[in-house]
C-alpha cells in the first residue's frame, strides 16, 4: 500500500497552482483549480483532488482546454440561461456559470443555468456548497464519458453522471451531498491505483464483464442500486447534456482518448431561494432541527452515530484544513518535481489503462 504524507493546504495549493501554470494555464485559472482540488482532498474526496493534476496538466499542455476562453452568458428567460464556456478549464468555466445562476436566483427566486462546452469540472460539492453559503438551495449535475454498463447490458453507455445537493442551515456549514450514480466514482478507482490498493469487486467489471478487485483491470463501472442508478444517470445526461444540445450517452467525449481535442461537456445548476416559499430563518432552523434529530438516533451495531449525508466530508475538511491533508507520496513527489506531466494519459481510452 502506498504511503501518504500530510501536506499543509497552503503548500498543496501552491504546488498544484505552479504545476498547472507551467502546463500553460493562466495564473488566475490555475489558482481556482488549485483551490478546488485542495477542497476535494481536504474533504477526503481524494478521487477529485491532487490525483487529477497530472491528467489536467497533460490535457492543458496538449491543447485540449481553451486557455483564454470567450465565456458568454445568454439569458433565455426570467429564470433560465446558458453560459457558453468555450471549453475553458472546467472549474473556471463552471464557477462563471454558478455566479450567473446565484445572481439570477436572488433576483428571480430560482435559476436553471447550463454550462455548455466545458472540460472536466471536478467535484460538484464545491459548487453547491458555495451556493448554499449564499442562502440558496442548490442542485448540480454533469456528464461524464461512457464508462458504465447499463443495468441488464454488457456494453458501456452512460457516464458516472454525478448529482450534488446543498442546503443552508442555521449553524455550521451547509448540508452537502454529492454522489456518482455508479457504485463508486471513477476517480475513486484512480485513487486506489495511486495507492496500490484493491477495490471491492462490487464496483466494476473487467474486459470479460466479470467483477474485479484490480483497479487496473476495470473496463466497466456498475450503476448504484442497479436499475435505480441506471435511471438516475439517464436523468443527469438528459438535463446536463441533451437539454443543452450536447452529445449524450455513448457519444460523450472520452477523458483520455485524445487530449488534443476539446471535451464539449455540459453541467446544469438548479438554484432555489427558500425565501420565495417560506421565510429563510424558519427554513434554516428546520434544517438544523433535522440534523439534530438525525444525530439523536441510536446508532446501529458497528456505527458510532448517525451522520447526515455528506457530513463525514465536512468533518474531514475541518480536520485536514487545520492539521494537514494526507496525499499519496508518489503524487507529492510528482507535484514537487520539475516534470510538468508524464505524458501517460493520451490515447489510453476511457479507463486510462496505464
| Residues labelled as active-site residues | 120
Q: What residues form DSSP beta bridges with 74? A: 82
Angle at Cα 95 formed by Cα 93 and Cα 99, nearest 5°? 120
CB distance 345 to 352 below 8 Å: yes
CB distance 42 to 321 below 8 Å: yes
Sequence-distant (≥ 6) Cβ neighbours of residue 267 within 8 angstroms: 94, 97, 114, 115, 118, 121, 140, 141, 142, 143, 240
Q: What residues form DSSP beta bridges with 23? A: none
* Whole-Å CA distances, 134 to 76, 82, 131, 167, 335: 23, 21, 5, 10, 34
* Whole-Å CA distances, 8 to 38, 76, 149, 323: 10, 44, 39, 7
Give the whole-angstrom CA distance, residue 57 versus residue 77: 37
Instruction: Locate the DSSP E strands across 87-174.
Output: 110-118, 137-142, 163-167
| SS3 state at 219 | coil
Instruction: Locate the DSSP E strands across 265-311.
Output: 265-272
Sequence-distant (≥ 6) Cβ neighbours of residue 210 within 8 angstroms: none
Give the whole-angstrom CA distance, residue 298 versus residue 243: 44
CB distance 223 to 229 below 8 Å: yes
Amino acid at each position: 500500500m502506498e504511503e501518504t504524507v500530510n501536506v499543509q493546504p497552503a503548500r498543496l495549493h501552491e504546488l498544484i497552482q505552479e504545476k498547472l501554470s507551467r502546463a500553460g494555464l493562466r495564473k488566475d485559472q490555475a489558482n481556482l483549480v488549485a483551490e478546488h482540488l485542495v477542497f476535494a482532498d481536504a474533504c477526503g474526496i481524494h478521487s477529485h483532488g491532487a490525483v487529477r493534476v497530472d491528467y489536467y496538466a497533460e490535457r492543458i499542455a496538449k491543447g485540449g482546454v481553451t486557455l483564454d476562453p470567450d465565456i458568454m452568458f445568454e439569458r433565455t428567460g426570467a429564470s433560465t440561461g446558458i453560459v457558453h464556456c468555450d471549453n475553458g478549464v472546467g472549474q473556471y468555466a463552471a464557477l462563471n456559470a454558478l455566479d450567473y445562476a446565484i445572481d439570477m436566483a436572488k433576483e428571480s427566486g430560482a435559476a436553471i443555468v447550463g454550462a455548455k462546452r466545458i472540460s472536466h469540472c471536478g467535484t460538484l460539492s464545491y459548487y453547491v456548497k458555495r451556493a448554499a453559503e449564499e442562502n440558496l438551495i442548490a442542485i448540480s449535475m454533469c456528464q461524464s464519458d461512457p464508462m458504465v454498463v447499463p443495468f441488464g447490458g454488457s456494453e458501456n453507455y452512460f457516464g458516472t453522471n454525478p448529482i450534488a445537493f446543498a442546503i443552508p442551515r442555521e449553524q455550521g456549514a451547509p448540508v452537502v451531498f454529492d454522489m456518482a450514480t455508479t457504485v463508486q466514482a471513477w476517480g475513486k478507482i484512480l485513487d486506489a491505483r495511486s495507492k496500490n490498493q484493491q477495490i471491492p469487486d462490487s464496483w466494476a467489471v473487467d474486459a470479460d464483464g466479470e467483477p474485479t478487485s484490480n483497479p487496473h483491470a476495470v473496463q466497466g463501472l456498475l450503476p448504484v442500486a442497479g436499475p435505480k442508478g441506471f435511471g438516475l444517470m439517464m436523468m443527469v445526461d438528459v438535463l446536463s447534456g441533451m437539454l443543452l444540445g450536447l452529445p449524450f450517452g455513448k457519444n460523450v467525449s472520452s477523458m483520455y482518448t485524445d487530449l488534443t481535442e476539446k471535451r464539449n461537456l455540459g453541467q446544469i445548476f438548479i438554484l432555489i431561494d427558500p425565501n420565495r416559499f417560506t421565510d429563510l430563518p424558519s427554513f434554516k432552523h428546520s434544517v438544523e432541527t433535522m440534523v439534530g434529530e438525525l444525530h439523536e438516533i441510536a446508532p446501529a451495531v458497528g456505527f458510532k452515530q448517525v451522520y447526515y449525508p455528506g457530513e463525514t466530508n465536512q468533518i474531514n475538511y475541518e480536520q485536514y484544513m487545520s492539521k494537514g491533508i494526507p496525499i499519496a507520496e508518489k503524487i507529492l513527489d510528482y507535484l514537487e518535481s520539475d516534470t510538468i506531466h508524464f505524458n501517460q494519459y493520451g490515447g489510453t481510452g476511457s479507463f486510462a489503462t496505464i
